[in-house]
């Protein structure tokens, strides 16, 4: 066990419930094990990488080809996109989806609550982030592992100038077969089709997958269901203070092109992302705070 994991476990560990241990690549992670659920969060990227409620296999997908090293994003779980989503406008050299998903976060708390075991981690601006984005901020992620998974992302403007940011909880869900699932809850919602040069379209009915799909659903605060006939379960994704939902499946060619995805990973993952992007970007004045929350439940079908 690395010194950092041992020290954090000594300070924050709850014996028999939540421990800080070395994960892949020797990266410290919090491992939660209770009767209600098991789960994991890496300090690298502030990334939840596992949630298995009792009686269910893991609801979150992580690729076996993922990299586990400083400066690289973990491929799977819940990457955090901040302070921009996708490519940064006017700065093609900037890292896609911002810089906090490849940053080391700080463990602040582990506590048992009525809803489950709550893990609090944080990151904030520093010289490196300010070279990319000249604002002072603090981000806190609270992940609660229980019969449901709750994830809250709290952004605070700790500086003297207002700023505008985009954010996403870019959740990768485990599914049995991408060609068989159906996603409901976005009927009648307009979206930007990123596979078709960002053309704006209208969703009609449920989403089914038959090709690369990359869509930004606009002005939608509603919940989404992922119906999975192969794993015989329904994943319910609800949210608060989020006005955009992104749906992504890389399909064959994109999965093959991404080095940290296995070629057939597209068959067993779908991203349904809880966001505030594009026209729903958030403006914060100095001292102001914004909290976006995701709640996931799963039920057999």
* Among the listed residues 226, 221, 217, the one whose alpha carbon sits nearest the alpha carbon of residue 239: 221
**Could you say whether residue 44 binds ligand TA6 (CB under 6 A)?**
no
Site membership for ligand TA6, residue 246 (CB under 6 A): yes
DSSP letters, 247-262, are EEE-HHHHHHH-TTS-
167 binds ligand TA6 (CB under 6 A): no
Closest CA to 158 of 277, 293, 290: 290
Which residue from 92, 85, 45 is spatially nearest to 281, judged by alpha carbons?
A: 85
Question: Of these, 170, 233, 239, 268, which contacts ligand TA6 (CB under 6 A)?
Answer: 170
Task: Find the binder of ligand TA6 among 12, 19, 44, 97 (CB under 6 A).
Answer: 97
* Residue among 248, 249, 251, 266 that touches ligand TA6 (CB under 6 A): 248
Per CB under 6 A, does 214 bind ligand TA6? yes
The encoded tokens of residue 134 equal: 């000249």
103 interacts with ligand TA6 by CB under 6 A:
no
Tokens of 298: 């799963």
Find out whether 138 and 42 touch, Cβ atoms under 8 Å: no
Please identify, using beta-carbon distances, which residue of 157 and 244 lies nearer to ligand TA6.
244
Say if CB 98 and CB 277 are below 8 A apart. Answer: no
Q: Is 234 in the site for ligand TA6 (CB under 6 A)?
A: no
Q: Exactly one of 40, 124, 170, 200 is catalytic; which is it?
A: 170
Instruction: Please confirm, yes or no, whether 124 is among the known catalytic residues.
Output: no
Query: Which residues are known catalytic residues?
Result: 170, 273
**Site residues (CB under 6 A) for ligand TA6?**
73, 86, 96-97, 170, 194, 214, 246, 248, 271, 273
């Amino acid at each position: 066990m690395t010194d950092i994991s041992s020290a954090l476990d000594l300070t924050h560990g709850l014996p028999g419930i939540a421990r800080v241990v070395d994960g892949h690549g020797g990266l410290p992670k919090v491992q939660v094990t209770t009767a209600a659920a098991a789960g994991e969060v890496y300090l690298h990227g502030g990334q939840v990488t596992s949630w298995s409620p009792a009686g269910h296999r893991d609801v979150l997908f992580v690729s076996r080809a993922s990299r586990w090293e400083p400066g690289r994003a973990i491929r799977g779980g819940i990457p955090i996109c901040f302070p921009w989503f996708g490519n940064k406008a006017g700065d093609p050299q900037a890292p896609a989806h911002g810089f906090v998903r490849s940053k080391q976060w700080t463990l602040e708390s582990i506590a048992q609550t009525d809803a489950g075991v709550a893990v609090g981690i944080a990151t904030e601006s520093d010289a490196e982030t300010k070279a990319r984005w000249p604002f002072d901020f603090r981000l806190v992620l609270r992940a609660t592992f229980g019969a449901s998974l709750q994830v809250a992302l709290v952004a605070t403007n700790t500086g003297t100038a207002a700023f505008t940011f985009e954010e996403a909880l870019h959740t990768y869900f485990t599914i049995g077969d991408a060609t068989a699932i159906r996603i409901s809850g976005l009927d009648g919602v307009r979206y930007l089709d990123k596979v078709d040069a960002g053309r704006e379209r209208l969703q009609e009915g449920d989403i089914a997958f038959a090709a690369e799909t990359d869509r930004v659903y606009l002005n939608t605060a509603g919940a989404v269901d992922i119906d999975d006939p192969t794993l015989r379960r329904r994943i319910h994704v609800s949210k608060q203070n989020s006005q955009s939902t992104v749906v992504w499946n890389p399909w064959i060619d994109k999965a093959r092109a991404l080095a940290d995805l296995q070629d057939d990973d597209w068959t067993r993952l779908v991203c349904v992302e809880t966001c505030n992007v594009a026209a729903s970007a958030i403006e914060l004045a100095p001292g102001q705070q914004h909290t976006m929350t995701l709640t996931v439940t799963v039920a057999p079908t």
